[in-house]
Amino acid sequence: MVTYGCCGPELAGSALKMDVLGSWLDTDWIPDHAQQNPIMLFSPQYIFDLSVLAKFVPDFALGEDYRFVDITPVDCPVALRMNDLDYVGRVTHQTGANIYVFARDEERVEVMVVASYYTDEVNCWRMTCLAAVPEAFIPVWFSFSEECKRLSEALEATDKVIVIGGKSESFVPKVHWDEIVLPDKLKHDLMEDVSSFFTKGVDVYRRLNLKPFRKLLLAGVPGTGKTMICSALAKWALEQKHVVIYVSSAVRRQGTDYGASFDKIEQALSVAASSSLPTLILLEELDAYLHEEEKALVLNVLDGNESEINDKGTLLIATTNYPEAIDERVLKRPGRLDRIFIIPETRAAVDAEKMLRQYLGTFWQDDHKGLIPALVGYPGAFIREVAVYALTQCAYDDLTELSYELLERSFNGLKSQLDARDDFLKKRGGMMFSSPVNIN
Ligand SMILES: Nc1ncnc2c1ncn2[C@@H]1O[C@H](COP(=O)(O)OP(=O)(O)O)[C@@H](O)[C@H]1O
Ligand SMILES: [Mg+2]
């Protein structure tokens, strides 16, 4: 008997059931189809996953011009028909016997597939599957199997961000693009770059025979809104039915802390490669991945040499609070990062006002404008803190209005904390992050 597919320890456990299925094929199917010399093949589970078969495009050419038509159930006393459901309640694996029908013009080819559950030596449920494939049809069957594999891995559009290496498997991004306050041109350029890559750029890359893989870096001091931008872009991308993958840098999972390790980037790229949809990868704190042991691997990925990229396009958006930790080899070498956006602290009074109004909500009063000049130059996170602190004071004191004095007190309190911290860090030897490197 010819077998292929995964032959791990479960094969040993399944031998008995497989023998039963095999002898049923030997007596009930093969004699009637002897002229085609059916060969028994051990087949992977995605072959009898109905959710995979449902995704098969009817016109998909399998080679030698064959198409997959359908499956026809048949009775089989040795394989119960049982169904497995996925997390949203769709039928996935269905055991039992089915004739898989393929067509080329008027010609029909039939493959008998029989799948069954069995229990292994530790009483775990497992599945096994055999297919009786006409010998001459094996190459076509192989391409059918490969396409089933691809479909089983291909991601579908969801409303959630897939998390790699984080505490939870997915999250729903809530930040709206309008909530982000940035200089107009920068904000416009950023969205333009991201959206036009998916709408027009991917075709251009393809025409130029390049992998459709674009890499952007958002750089800026902490608290300027880079994480917020990622979240808003994630929300936008999900609305466009793109796949969004978030690579989490330093979270403990299942007892092992593998922090900013290259494995995660590799995993994200492989998920992106198997996607049949445009894919956005968010990689926060790129600097953390550029430690000596793995830097070369990360550079290779950025060069796009080793990564397989799905042909609908993959956009990688990395962020850093410490661009000076990213060496010249990454920043300056053409092609490694396609564009660097510096995300600045608040630069204009209008932006500081927009942010303060946003975070004060209904507590905003026109006389708060007096504080605006003092807020210019601070990151958005600081302005939000000033507002949140002042609002908490209002809540504690049961105030229905926020006076200018209380707002100013909140600002002064937070500013002196910040100054004291900066002084401390300076004395400790200049750990403080200076203004962002100007890279264009
Ligand atoms: N440009 C901005 N516009 C609006 N809010 C901002 C901005 N920058 C920071 N904030 C506020 O500060 C919070 C923290 O910012 P964050 O995105 O984590 O900064 P970074 O990732 O650059 O360190 C945000 O969730 C948001 O509430
Ligand atoms: Mg951040």
Q: Tokens for 362, please give them.
A: 């209904």
pTM of the model: 0.70
Q: How many domains are there within the chain?
A: 3
Q: Which ligand is nearest to the CA of 343?
A: 1
247 and 295 assigned to the same domain:
yes
Residue 326 inside a domain? The answer is yes
Clarify whether residues 271 and 188 are in a common domain. yes
Pocket test for ligand 1, best of 174, 176, 191, 228 (most atoms within 8 A of CB): 228
Same domain? For 174 and 235 the reply is yes
Interval between CA 222 and ligand 2 midpoint (Å)? 7
Q: Which of 137, 153, 169 corresponds to the end of one domain? A: 153
- Residue 346 CA: nearest ligand 1 atom is 1
The rounded Å distance from CA 401 to ligand 1 centre is 25
Please report whether residue 433 resides in a domain. Answer: no
Closest CA to 274 of 304, 310, 313, 311: 310
Last residue of a domain, one of 134, 153, 172: 153
195 lies in the same domain as 320: yes
In which domain, by residue range, is 359 found? 349-427
Q: Which residue is closest in CA terms to ligand 1's atom 16?
A: 225
Q: Taking CB atoms and a 6 Å cutoff, what residues make up the pocket around ligand 1? A: 180-182, 220, 222-228, 321, 355, 380-381, 384
Q: Please tell me the distance between residue 100's alpha carbon and the centre of ligand 1 in angstroms.
A: 55
Residue 420 maps to a domain: yes
Q: For position 409, which CATH number holds?
A: 1.10.8.60
Residue nearest to atom 18 of ligand 1 (CA): 227
- Domain termination site, one of 98, 131, 153: 153
The structure tokens 């075709």 sit at 203
Same domain membership, residue 256 and residue 172: yes
Same domain for 366 and 309: no
Pair of tokens at residue 397: 């004191």
Q: Whose CA is nearest to atom 6 of ligand 1?
A: 380
221 and 256 housed in the same domain: yes
- Residue type present at position 97: A
Residue 179 alpha carbon, nearest atom of ligand 1: 4
Separation of 322 CA from ligand 2 center, angstroms?
11
From ligand 2's centre to the CA of 260, what distance in Å?
14
Q: What is the pLDDT along the chain (440 residues), one digit of tens a residue?
A: 333 333 344 444 455 889 999 999 999 999 999 999 999 999 999 999 998 999 888 888 898 999 999 999 999 999 999 998 765 567 889 999 999 999 999 999 999 999 999 887 666 678 899 999 999 999 999 999 999 988 887 777 778 898 887 767 778 899 999 999 999 999 999 999 999 999 999 999 888 888 899 999 999 999 999 999 999 999 999 999 999 999 987 554 444 445 778 888 888 888 888 788 899 999 999 988 888 888 888 888 887 776 778 889 999 999 999 887 777 767 777 778 899 999 999 999 999 999 999 999 999 999 999 999 999 999 999 999 999 999 999 999 999 999 999 999 999 999 999 888 888 777 765 444 433 333 32
Whole-angstrom distance, CA of residue 56 vs CA of residue 286: 38
Distance 90 CA to ligand 2 centre (A): 37
CATH number where 308 lies: 3.40.50.300
The torsion of the CA quartet 426, 427, 428, 434, rounded to 10 degrees, works out to: 10
Cβ neighbourhood burial of 192 (10 Å; 0-12, 13-18, 19+): exposed
Ligand nearest to the CA of 218: 1
CA nearest ligand 1 atom 17, residue = 225
Pocket test for ligand 1, best of 177, 182, 224 (most atoms within 8 A of CB): 224
In a domain? residue 44: yes
